[in-house]
């Protein structure tokens, strides 16, 4: 599936049946079963979007580099600068590599916040303040 520049998201070919016997391959991989690569949204000095073609000729904006966050405060939303990534629930190395995912705890000019959306799929970073 490398000719499409994507990853295969189907059932593994090495999976065994209930009796321990290896499953027989009954068809090849389909292009519809291929998906995109992980976007790896990282902390940077400025925001940078990458436009990717989706199914049905739709366009999807993936956020590659992020500098600002739409922060939900008690008074409303504010656009605030991100200073650091403190921790990530997905992988402990993501905070060291400065990769943002949903649920990551970030440090902003207003204080600590948790990311509430998926920046690699939506093209922006939304977060809410933590205590």
pLDDT single digits (tens) 24-79: 778 888 877 777 788 899 999 999 999 988 788 889 899 999 999 999 999 999 99
Instruction: Delimit the domains of the chain by residue range.
Output: 1-37, 41-129
- Has residue 1 got a pLDDT over 50? no
**pTM of the complete model:** 0.78
3 state SS of 91: coil
pLDDT single digits (tens) 79-111: 999 999 999 999 999 999 999 999 999 999 999
How is domain 41-129 classified at the CATH fold level?
Answer: 3.10.290
Q: How far is CA 25 from CA 15, 22, 29, 34, 45, in A?
A: 11, 9, 10, 17, 48
Residue 100: per-residue pLDDT: 95
Nearest to 69 by CA among 130, 99, 121, 114: 114
Nearest to 67 by CA among 48, 86, 50: 48
């Amino acid at each position: 599936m490398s000719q499409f520049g994507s990853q295969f998201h189907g059932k593994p070919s090495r999976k065994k049946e209930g009796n321990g016997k290896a499953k027989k391959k009954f068809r090849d991989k389909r292009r519809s079963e291929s998906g995109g690569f992980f976007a790896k949204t990282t902390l940077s000095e400025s925001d940078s979007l990458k436009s990717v073609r989706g199914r049905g000729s739709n366009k999807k904006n993936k956020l590659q580099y992020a500098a600002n966050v739409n922060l939900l405060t008690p008074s409303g939303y504010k656009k605030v600068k991100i200073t650091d990534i403190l921790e990530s629930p997905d992988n402990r190395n993501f905070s060291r590599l400065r990769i943002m995912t949903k649920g990551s705890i970030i440090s902003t000019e207003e204080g600590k916040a948790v990311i509430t959306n998926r920046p690699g799929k939506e093209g922006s970073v939304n977060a809410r303040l933590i205590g």
